[in-house]
Amino acid sequence: MSNKKPEITFKYVFNYSYNPTYVNGAQGGFSPRGEMVIHFYLERHPLPESISHEITPEGVIGKETAVEPEDLQKSMVRFIDTGVVMSYDNARIFHSWLGDKLREVEQLQKAQTAFEGAPSGAQA
């Protein structure tokens, strides 16, 4: 009689064009249906719609004279390229998984710090 536990193997299938997107923020919450909705964004300075420059007597580009929009220097963009929607139960599972991954990184960092702080020639 075998003591081997039942198992399942997941095969990962993805589009050829799959390319992770860098994000540095998120906005969202629970929908009226109880689903977690997360909009991931990249926060950055905006690009101008146009910039005007004077032309110098020598015929080269000179000083900036106008920028569109006018509030460009006082603005930030939160570009939302992707988001996710998940059930409450899946949000809890994702929260747990993310916590596990963060703890793994923290343990590696502690081990690295301890290794770097060890006296030369010390053996671990």
Mean pLDDT per 10-residue interval, the chain, length 124 residues = 84 88 96 97 93 92 92 93 96 96 96 82 56
Give the separation between CA 28 and CA 85, rounded to whole angstroms.
Answer: 10
Task: Decide if 39 contacts 78 (C-beta within 8 A).
Answer: no
pLDDT at 4: 87
Is the bond preceding 46 in cis, omega lying within 30 degrees of 0? no
pLDDT at 101: 97
Return all residues near 83 (Cβ < 8 A) that are at least 6 apart. Answer: 28, 37, 38, 39, 40
pLDDT at 115: 83
Q: Domains of the chain: which residue ranges?
A: 25-116
